[in-house]
Chain A
Amino acid sequence: MSEPTQQEARRIAEEARDRVRFEEEALDLSDQVYRVARHLAGSREEAEDLMQETYARAFRSWRTFTPGTNLRAWLLRILTNLNIDRGRRQQRAPQTTSLDEKGDYYLYDRLEEAEGKPLDEERVIERLSQDSIVDALAHVPHDFRDVLVLVDIGDFSYADAAQILDIPIGTVMSRLHRARRILKGELAEEAVK
């Protein structure tokens, strides 16, 4: 009769080891997850709350994670779902009106126009302050910003972003395209004031 008990004890020990490994790997990614969370949430405080809710849920449901798949994407999927659940937005449909959207080259063209001559691409960036980037990012409507933050700050592929946000890849591409244009429009207004 001691055999099943030993087996059971071994199973429990193995599971505990897997869980600890999972928790450590998730914690090691927390800095990277926070970098994305910071701009998905409206403020540092919200980002911090969101991180804690995300990790609490991740630690509870660690068994649903498939080892060998992308843990950072898995954590961000939990995080974006929680962010939506928190009632961040009244409606999930993307805002389509009153977006002052410009072409892809708009920012460069405006800066060049302000300078009156072809630009030194590296130097012109200095016209944009760190604060202006963070502010401009905050002005991009949520649904567009989520994609922009995942791809441009989180360095996720279009496919990963689609999976995290549970939207088709075509939607990722169109939102990303618009998000970048909106961001550049915001930056241009700021830079040539």
Chain B
Amino acid sequence: MTGHAFDPCEKCEEVMQPYLDRELDEVQMREAEEHLERCSYCRRRYRFEVSLRRYVRTAASEQMPLGLREKLSALRTPLQ
């Protein structure tokens, strides 16, 4: 596909992140969906991005340390 004045896969790569973020307008959203339906190259990369995001979110989610909530609660204004 490379070498063309308009490369749909290049365009798809460009809108992939806002598409995943649900930040495209309706027309752009439909264009991206139509391309993904037709193009297995971009579809594989799309599925990969979805899994990667989920994984990053899970891997980076750390529970609050034990006792921190109590420390924060102790900062409340005492009731008079």
Q: Which residues of A contact B (CB under 8 A)?
A: 16, 19-20, 23, 27, 30-31, 34-35, 38-39, 44, 48, 51-52, 55-56, 59, 103-105, 107-108, 118-119, 121-122, 124-125, 128, 130, 133-134, 137, 149, 151-153, 157-158, 173, 176-177, 180, 183-184
B14 to chain A, nearest CB (A): 8
Say whether B13 faces chain A, with CB atoms less than 8 Å apart.
yes
Q: Is B64 touching A31 in the complex (CB atoms < 8 A)?
A: yes
State which size class the interface on B falls in.
Answer: 35 or more
In the assembled complex, which residues on chain B have CB atoms less than 8 Å from the CB atom of A128?
55, 59
| Top 9 A-B pairs, shortest CB-CB distance | A133-B59, A34-B64, A121-B47, A130-B59, A121-B48, A55-B72, A108-B48, A56-B75, A23-B76
Q: Is B21 touching A158 in the complex (CB atoms < 8 A)?
A: yes
In the assembled complex, which residues on chain A have CB atoms less than 8 Å from the CB atom of B57?
152-153
Report the number of A-B residue pairs with Cβ-Cβ less than 8 Å.
Answer: 102
B10 to chain A, nearest CB (A): 9
In the assembled complex, which residues on chain B have CB atoms less than 8 Å from the CB atom of A16?
79-80
Q: Which residues of B contact A (CB under 8 A)?
A: 13-14, 16-18, 21, 23, 44-45, 47-53, 55-57, 59-65, 68-69, 71-73, 75-77, 79-80
